Amino acid sequence: MFNSTVARNLLVTTLLLTMVSLGLAEVHENQATPAQQYRFDQIERGIKMVGVAKAQQLRYR
């Protein structure tokens, strides 16, 4: 069952991931050098992996 702490943590995690994703989308709109683009791609993949890991933690709680 969901309680208020789990719901709050899920909401905060979702908001943070959304804000970071929007920030990275804005960076992608600007012309970036290949080195910068590679770094942003790594950050984006890392954020997605953290999101998946967090979702799996909540699923098996």
The pLDDT tens digits of the residues spanning 5-52 come to 887 888 888 888 888 877 776 665 666 677 777 887 888 888 888 888
Q: Which domain holds residue 15?
A: 4-59
Sequence-ordered list of residues with C-beta below 8 angstroms from that of 51, at least 6 positions apart, any chain? 13, 17
The average pLDDT across 49-61 equals 78
- The pLDDT, as a whole number, for residue 5 is 81
Q: How many domains does the chain have?
A: 1
Does the pLDDT value for residue 61 go beyond 70?
A: no
CA distance 19 to 42: 17
Does the pLDDT value for residue 1 go beyond 60?
A: no
